[in-house]
Structure 1
């Protein structure tokens, strides 16, 4: 057999691994060809229960902007489980391609629109600095070669991307303003909030944003949102803040305008973490610095491979 024939056989035999998770009798399917993408799906319900509780507060009339959507795990959850209309913003090329595939295989094309761009406080063509080069990778940085703590860090590679000020997303691309916003971009969350400031002064029901209280720029962003009338649930924030390690100080803060909504999200979060054996197992693995052990354990997911079309 010639080398070319061997290569051709390999190319023709390529398959994708599909992982299906069922929540409330609704299936969600994801392509999981890398260990990290598989881990994201296996830990979907246990890694960020506060995010799930927040998403569960939404309904079909809502519009979500998922900024830093990655491969779309929370995008798909919002669309499939809650019927929310979602605009998913992801600038990294590998992640954007996989995000679109996940949208297609879940048949939510009418509910979800993926946009290949970053957000910041200005509209410009910039570099996206990449620190990993595989599908589902994170900790990439739009416009600045920095890490999640805003410290200089040498990147592995870069790609040119469009970055938009949030209000320009609406004015130039005619994308409707959201009722809810998720921001998780591992660093420049404060710049994105600044770029949305004119909108956030008076509108938007809630914002979930990953901030680090150890970073001055992030503390200032939180103060800005408070000045716009947003409130947070202090106990939920304290419960979910990372207490040690590289991510010490990091927390998904949920800013809302309605205190009753904040309390409802917290109660749903507590009900889950107090009664979920899966969450307890996951937290125990994290305490032992062995999250991979949870991924390797037995789960009630469905796995299958399909040949690429």
Structure 2
């Protein structure tokens, strides 16, 4: 009933009026809060005829998994799944609560899925979601970067499903942001004897160049055939890099690059690229 009422309002003259006077976002906010309060805490989504279930215990999780477009990423997820073979090694870097890792684990059985997520609460939910789907995924509660260091994770709320960027550990210690560990991907793969990836997905809100630079030895070894990477032009500047730096690095490694648009009102200038050998 609530969904039906909201649908009618969204497509009515009333909603146009709400937009004109600048309160449509407030209406949407109230709608999602009510929906969250009265919904079950598990949702099952089907993509490419593959189904996976996810907990939606926080509002961030709820709005992502209840959104038909998965916050604009459903087309990217479809293409990732189409690229995977049963014996591949798939790395989900910036795994959050496991959208890509859970779906990938439904395809890969003789290979491996490796999920990299530095935020402890999201990593905990990631582990719970993997268990909910009765799958096996290698989880590392770290962030991949170009060096081994500590950082502060800047997120709107310290709960599962939140996304954000990092600041140097030497930043303002009065700010209440969780501390995370950043490691060079090359080092972590060797130290933990992890399998070399065939397919990478990278979504790290501005740290994409640093992630790739920290995986230089692994990528230059020639095993990784496909890289899906979300580009955040604005956030990249906070890391003193640009989208051109990311694209040039991949081109130097002889990848061909295809741009993949993301259409969602939560996105500003972000887009995905697919890089293939």
TM-score (structure 1 length as normaliser):
0.66
* Deviation (angstroms), 1:81: 4.2
Aligned partners of 1:131 and 1:156 also within 8 Å: no
The two structures have a TM-score, normalised by structure 2, of 0.73
Which residue, out of 29, 33, 40, partners 2:64? 40
Separation in structure 2 between the aligned mates of residue 165 and residue 89 of structure 1, nearest angstrom: 12
Offset at residue 34 of structure 1 (A): 1.8
TM-fit CA distance, 1:217: 2.5
Q: Which residue in the other structure is 1:171 paired with?
A: 190
CA distance in 2, matches of 1:161, 1:192: 15
Taking the TM superposition and a 5 Å limit, the aligned residue runs for 1:232-271 are: 232-233=257-258, 237=259, 240=261, 247-248=268-269, 250-257=270-277
Q: 2:232 aligns with which of 205, 212, 220?
A: 212
Whole-Å Cα distance in 1 between the matches of residues 167 and 42 of structure 2? 30
Which residue number in structure 2 is paired with residue 284 of structure 1?
none
1:52 alignment partner in structure 2: 78
Distance 1:124 1:82, change over 3 A: same
Offset at residue 176 of structure 1 (A) = 1.4
Q: CA offset at residue 126 of structure 1?
A: 3.4
- Deviations 1:133-175, CA, capped at 9 Å, x for gaps: 22211123264799xxxxxx99962223221101001111211
Q: How far is 1:21 from its partner? A: 2.2
Q: 1:124 aligns with which of 145, 149, 164?
A: 149
* 1:57-206 equivalent positions in 2, closer than 5 A: 57-83=83-109, 85-109=112-136, 112-141=137-166, 143=168, 157-203=176-222, 204-206=224-226
SS in 1 for 2:85: coil
Q: How far is 1:125 from its partner? A: 3.5
Q: Is the 8 A contact 2:158 2:178 kept in 1?
A: no
Distance 2:65 2:98 in 1: 10
* Offset, 1:130: 3.1
CA contact (8 A) 2:231 2:272 kept: yes
1:131–1:140 CA contact under 8 A, matched in 2: no
Distance in 2 separating the partners of 1:50 and 1:205: 17
Offset at residue 16 of structure 1 (A): 7.3
Q: CA RMSD in A?
A: 3.0
Q: 1:55 to 1:154 in 2, by over 3 A?
A: farther
CA contact (8 A) 2:153 2:164 kept: no
Q: 1-side partners of 2:48 and 2:272: how far apart?
A: 24
| Whole-Å separation in 2 of the counterparts to 1:189 and 1:145 | 21
C-alpha contact (below 8 Å) 1:181/1:207 kept by paired residues: yes
Which runs of 5 or more structure 1 residues have no equivalent in the other structure?
Answer: 1-14, 147-152, 258-309
Count residues in correspondence: 230
- More RCO (CA 8 Å, sep 6+): 1
Question: CA, structure 1 residues 155+141, in 2 after alignment: closer, same or farther (shift >3 Å)?
Answer: farther
Q: What corresponds to 1:21 in structure 2?
A: 45
CA contact (8 A) 1:213 1:219 kept: no
